[in-house]
Amino acid sequence: MPKNNSIHKIAVIGSGPIIIGQAAEFDYAGSQACISLREEGYEVILINSNPSTIMTDDEIADKVYLEPLTLDSVSKILAKEQPDALLPTLGGQTGLNLAVELNDAGVLDKYHIELLGTGLKTIEQAEDRQQFKQLMQDINQPVPASLTVHNLDDALNFAKKIGYPVIVRPAYTLGGTGGGIALNQDELVKIGTRGLSMSPVTECLIEKSIAGFKEIEFEVMRDANGDKISVCCMENFDPVGIHTGDSIVVAPSQSLNDHQFQQLRYASLSIVEALKIKGGCNVQLAQDPNSDQYYIIEVNPRVSRSSALASKATGYPIAKIAAKIAVGLDLNEITNPVTQTTYAAFEPALDYVVAKIPRFPFDKFTGADRQLGTQMKATGEVMGIGLTIEEALLKAVASLEIEPQIETSLLPLTKQTDEELSFALTHPTDQRLFEIFSALDRYWSVKKIADLTKITPIFLHKLAHIWQLKNSLGGQLTSSLLADAKQYGFSNAMIAAASGKSELQIEELIVQSNIAPVYKMVDTCAGEFASATPYFYSSFFPGENESKPLGKSIIVLGSGPIRIGQGVEFDYTTVHCVQAIQQAGYHAIIVNNNPETVSTDFSISDKLYFEPLTTESVMNIVNLEQPLGVIVQFGGQTAINLTASLVQHGVKILGTSLAGIDQTEDRHQFEELLIGQHIAQPKGATTMNLEEAAAIAPHIGYPVMVRPSFVLGGRAMAVVHNEDELANYVDKAMKAAPHQPILIDHYVAGIECEADILSDGHDVFIPGIMEHLEGSGIHSGDSIAMYPSQRLTDQQKQAIESIAIKIGKQVHCVGMMNIQFIVADQVYVIEVNPRASRTVPFMSKITGQHLAKIATSLIMGNSLADLGLEAGCAKEPAHVSIKAPVFSFTKNYLAWTALYLLK
Amino acid sequence: MKSTGETIGLGDSYEEAMHNALSDSYHLTAPIGEQTALVDEASAQDTSLMNLLNQINIDIQVIAANETPTINPSNVWLVINSETEQTTTTKLNYFALSNGIPFFSATETLKGILTSQSAEAHGLRPVCKSTMLINRGLGD
């Protein structure tokens, strides 16, 4: 069917702020969809309240409303804009819920707004448990038997009827607490009573347990004509019972036989047909490991986290195609953007394996319950691509940026007894992969581990193969052994840990053995058709290198997985950096490993390397591409942390030099920098014990802020006013992080503010000074930030400006930096980040200046004057902009919630 | 740091911007009917906070953080707990979080917000492609 010409203006609803379970994948989907609709000539109106995304960039839609995603606010926008249609399926659950609310309130009818894509009836059928159950029964698709109960007797009767085990899911409890699996009547009495009492509405769902089944997902597309394809089949490494967002996932599926695969594929296609989906749809299924029995778990009639993963796994841009289907185009009318020669109706095929591993926030949410279950806890994810499962998995591990010792030894940090390990394997946490390695290290059989974990043996055999290779690395390191390890995904750091040699020695041995990677293309069709996708992954298996150096190129390092403290804003800055490089006439190459984001959309850059952000991976790419330089300023701390070792390897860093970066990052050099420029800094010192602390504190001056240097999240941070309080708190800090230094700083009570600065190495431009609503002591990322400032005097602003200029000049900043201040009796500097910061997208959008692009132009050699910018602080606007944090406390049971711990 | 994301609020005034920013973050809106603010014992010591709450004529109930409130959740406007050691399972917090009640764990956040509450109607401002947000009033 040709595209819908009766509509001209389309409103798109975004997904709002990032929370656990609804993250950067919707920035990717939303941006793709908006671009896709504009390609077709439609006027696009975007509504989203998240300032940090690419989606809310002025270039993505014709008009962007940075307004609340509430019925009232969106109704007003629709009344004003009077769009012909609304596309609700790209903004996650938030977008869908809002579309339902708008419909129920009669807003869509009132303004004659047509709903595009999957209809509301379908959405309701997929989301309402009863309607969904009925539909599945109508089309003969099996769902686990379930019943909502309000008393124990009903629960027991139902369980007797369907047989044990059953899952008890209490309604409206935090993180599903109070639920569990009952293996028999006695257990159901216990768990059912607890669940009913914990549920605020005394309600539980009793469901036939399929925990331990294989969890399989199909990403399916259907057009209005009824044509359907399966884009990707993904298999969860973890069994049913762990949220798919918290599961390790591989694609294509690995353990299904052909009959099972076809059965599940057929079921998925039948469901999207019955639901009359128009666009993309995610179908989750459970496969009995011991028979051909399967069940439908759930259906998401929209783009999702899994569709982002499937897009990156296959190269097939699901959201882009879904948007085109929504405006009437059929799959056989849409060109596949990857091959440019086939149509979107062509099912992708993979000649490689991808593995996704979730990134959990427990490094920051210390104390939170780490056990995985049906409530998602991860904040982000990484993906590894390889020719074998082993390689894909180990690349993903190397991308996680967790404790380096875990990443390289592949073992948990703390030694567990056999009993503890058995318990851990039956009660999986974020550490389960490393605990399985620990079990393999104890020569536990695959069967024993499979019995404990319910993980499909094929995956455990792959882990056993990794472990066998790792053990062999402890002996004589021959060339063939090294080649083997590299082919199965071992990083140099992992080989170094296994062999007891240094990483440098391994690097040298690899060079001596002539072992080098080749790069393979992700082409969606397993080489069946010619394609020119600029999307590559490395492999050490012999083969042709398919990535030809671009020449005149610059490499931009991305920021890896989304985690607390490093979110989607760094993807925004990475994408803007790439665009500025391209505008300047150079080729931009991205290295990143996060499948959710816009930056890993291969159409964003001239070339995408989907690789771990490690010195080794980056150097292999540098050696091939021979770029003019590498930019590290936009990929958060991930990229900055690689600077020193890249410089040691002879890489030219574009922008602020390593020396300048060190001046701000090294505590000692930073102190010298501030003293040299007569800039005040709260006095501080580092100590290892109470005696020293008690001696130092009076010199620093009470009140002092005490915090262990390695425990983040503020648990053991406190402000103390005298020696008694100090003793009490140091004791706690020592317990929270034994043998780690404790930082003691004079606590300056005052107004906290921050500024991003841009510099060409000579002059400094300050787009604006943001003031935090909360005083000093609360992390800037947890504070409400306001621009322009509401309480600072002109004199204080001038002092901040003058300090920012001094620091920028002194470190010869080229590009951008972020400086944080406390304004009290005078202006103090508390921190300088030698890179783009969390506030860059916010400030860019409210000042109308693309700061990351400007910074990139400065890095490329332009002066502030060339860009028409005057040195000094920009004039403040009359209107007010406020950035407020969003917490996902409901998703992390037992997490610490205090924003600061002032006594 | 504990936040996972952020939201933006724009306005011609501080009050309006704050109102918009809070809609999708703390989800705090003007109290409906006779809603109550649940204040933990530590926060209740903060006289400036209590004065601000009193100024807006809201019912205040002071409660121990480790006590589960017995009040109907729909009658609660917000929960503030500034105890130093608190988690999502602290009874007062659990009550707020499991019932979707706006929850604050720093008195300064709430104090800042309370000074900016405004009931005025709010206009709409698109970011125009040519002008971006700084001139967002254009074309209205």
A230 in the same domain as A193 = no
A chain contacts of residue B43, beta-carbon cutoff 8 Å: none
pLDDT the model gives residue B121: 35
Q: Using CB atoms, pick whichever of B12, B21, B129 lies closest to residue A879.
A: B12
pLDDT the model gives residue A467: 98
pLDDT the model gives residue A367: 77
- Whole-angstrom Cα distance, residue A126 to residue A141? 13
* Residues A730-774: tens digit of each pLDDT: 877 777 667 778 888 899 999 999 999 999 999 999 999 999 999
A785 in the same domain as A866 = yes
Q: Is the pLDDT of residue A489 over 50?
A: yes
Instruction: Confirm whether A274 is domain-assigned.
Output: yes
Interface membership of B27 toward A (CB under 8 Å):
no
Of A294, A329, A350, which closes a domain?
A350
Q: Is the pLDDT of residue A638 over 80?
A: yes
Q: Which residue is closest to A173 within chain B, CA to CA?
A: B98
- Whole-angstrom Cα distance, residue A185 to residue A673? 69
Q: Using CB atoms, pick whichever of A775, A877, A887 lies closest to residue B3.
A: A887
Q: Is the pLDDT of residue B88 over 80?
A: yes
Interface membership of B97 toward A (CB under 8 Å):
yes
Residue A774 to residue B108, Cβ atoms within 8 A: yes
Distance from the A598 Cα atom to the nearest Cα atom in chain B, whole angstroms: 17
Q: Using CB atoms, pick whichever of A18, A51, A714 lies closest to residue B8.
A: A51
B chain contacts of residue A564, beta-carbon cutoff 8 Å: 1-4
pLDDT the model gives residue B128: 33
Interface membership of B68 toward A (CB under 8 Å):
no
Q: Is the pLDDT of residue A718 over 80?
A: no
- Whole-angstrom Cα distance, residue A189 to residue A176? 18
What is the CB neighbour count within 10 angstroms for residue A748? 23
Of A123-127, A230-234, A562-566, A767-771, least confident by mean pLDDT is A123-127
Of A101, A116, A131, which closes a domain?
A116
Instruction: Confirm whether A328 is domain-assigned.
Output: yes
A642 in the same domain as A561 = yes
Helix (H) or strand (E) holding A553: strand A553-557
Strands A228-236 and A214-222: antiparallel
Question: Which of A903, A892, A901 minimizes the C-alpha distance to A379?
Answer: A892
Instruction: Confirm whether A362 is domain-assigned.
Output: no
Q: Is the pLDDT of residue B140 over 50?
A: no
pLDDT the model gives residue A687: 86
Q: How many CB pairs under 8 A join A and B?
A: 254
Interface membership of B6 toward A (CB under 8 Å):
yes
A530 in the same domain as A660 = yes
* Residues A63-110: tens digit of each pLDDT: 999 999 999 999 999 999 999 999 988 888 888 889 989 999 999 999
**CA–CA distances in Å: residue A367 to residues A324, A432, A900, B87:** 46, 18, 16, 9
Token representation of residue A101: 């609310």
Distance from the B18 Cα atom to the nearest Cα atom in chain A, whole angstroms: 6
Q: Which residue is closest to A717 within chain B, CA to CA?
A: B84
pLDDT the model gives residue B116: 67
Does A436 or A375 have the greater pLDDT score?
A436
Between the ranges A360-364, A417-421, A473-477, B30-34, where is the mean pLDDT highest?
Answer: A417-421
Residue A166 belongs to domain with CATH number: 3.30.1490.20
- Report how many domains make up chain A: 7
Interface membership of B117 toward A (CB under 8 Å):
no
Domain that holds residue A45: 9-116
Q: Using CB atoms, pick whichever of A76, A173, A845 lies closest to residue B133.
A: A845
Give me the residues paired with residue A327 across strands. none
User: Do A723 and A677 touch, CB atoms closer than 8 A?
Assistant: no
A643 in the same domain as A538 = yes
A chain contacts of residue B12, beta-carbon cutoff 8 Å: 878-880
- Whole-angstrom Cα distance, residue A742 to residue A717? 10
pLDDT the model gives residue A169: 87
Interface membership of B45 toward A (CB under 8 Å):
no
A238 in the same domain as A175 = no
Of A29-33, A359-363, A704-708, B27-31, least confident by mean pLDDT is A704-708
pLDDT the model gives residue A123: 83
* Residues A819-853: tens digit of each pLDDT: 999 999 999 999 999 999 999 999 999 999 999 99
Residue B1 to residue A364, Cβ atoms within 8 A: yes
Task: Give CA torsion, residues A45, A51, A57, A61, to 10 deg.
Answer: -10
Residue B25 to residue A884, Cβ atoms within 8 A: yes
Q: Quickly state the pLDDT bin for A137 (edges 50, 70, 90).
A: very high
Interface membership of B11 toward A (CB under 8 Å):
yes
pLDDT the model gives residue A736: 65
Instruction: Confirm whether A126 is domain-assigned.
Output: no
B chain contacts of residue A718, beta-carbon cutoff 8 Å: 84
Q: Is the pLDDT of residue A720 over 90?
A: no
Interface membership of B108 toward A (CB under 8 Å):
yes
* Residues A244-273: tens digit of each pLDDT: 999 999 999 999 999 999 999 999 999 999
Helix (H) or strand (E) holding A356: strand A353-359
Distance of CA A610 to the CA centre of its chain: 15
* Residues A455-467: tens digit of each pLDDT: 999 999 999 999 9
Residue A880 to residue B16, Cβ atoms within 8 A: yes
Instruction: Confirm whether A38 is domain-assigned.
Output: yes
State the average pLDDT for chain A.
Answer: 93
Cβ neighbours of residue A614 under 8 Å, at least 6 residues apart? A398, A491, A493, A642
Burial class (CB in 10 A: 0-12, 13-18, 19+), A226: exposed
pLDDT the model gives residue A903: 35
User: Do A20 and B4 touch, CB atoms closer than 8 A?
Assistant: yes
Residue B129 to residue A882, Cβ atoms within 8 A: no
Q: Using CB atoms, pick whichever of A775, A886, A890 lies closest to residue B7.
A: A886
Q: Quickly state the pLDDT bin for A175 (edges 50, 70, 90).
A: low
Interface membership of B43 toward A (CB under 8 Å):
no
pLDDT the model gives residue B91: 94
Residue A93 belongs to domain with CATH number: 3.40.50.20
Instruction: Confirm whether A367 is domain-assigned.
Output: no
Of A354-363, A781-790, A891-900, least confident by mean pLDDT is A891-900
Residue A105 has φ and ψ, to the nearest 5°, of: -80, 0
A chain contacts of residue B46, beta-carbon cutoff 8 Å: none
Q: Give domain limits for chain B.
A: 1-29+117-140, 31-114
Distance from the B88 Cα atom to the nearest Cα atom in chain A, whole angstroms: 5
- Which three-class secondary structure string do you get for A651-715? CCEECCCHHHHHHHHCHHHHHHHHHHCCCECCCEEEECCHHHHHHHHHHHCCCEEEEECCCCCCC
Residue A70 to residue B24, Cβ atoms within 8 A: yes
Residue B4 to residue A883, Cβ atoms within 8 A: no
Q: Quickly state the pLDDT bin for B138 (edges 50, 70, 90).
A: very low
A695 in the same domain as A602 = no
Residue B129 to residue A62, Cβ atoms within 8 A: yes
Q: In the CATH hierarchy, which fold is given to the domain comprising B31-114?
A: Rossmann fold (3.40.50)
Residue A853 belongs to domain with CATH number: 3.30.470.20
B chain contacts of residue A779, beta-carbon cutoff 8 Å: 1-2
A320 in the same domain as A245 = yes
User: Do A564 and B2 touch, CB atoms closer than 8 A?
Assistant: yes
Q: Is the pLDDT of residue A577 over 80?
A: yes
Q: Is the pLDDT of residue A545 over 70?
A: yes
A chain contacts of residue B13, beta-carbon cutoff 8 Å: 880
Interface membership of B22 toward A (CB under 8 Å):
yes
Q: Using CB atoms, pick whichever of B106, B112, B134 lies closest to residue A847.
A: B134
Of A489, A512, A535, which closes a domain?
A512
A chain contacts of residue B16, beta-carbon cutoff 8 Å: 880
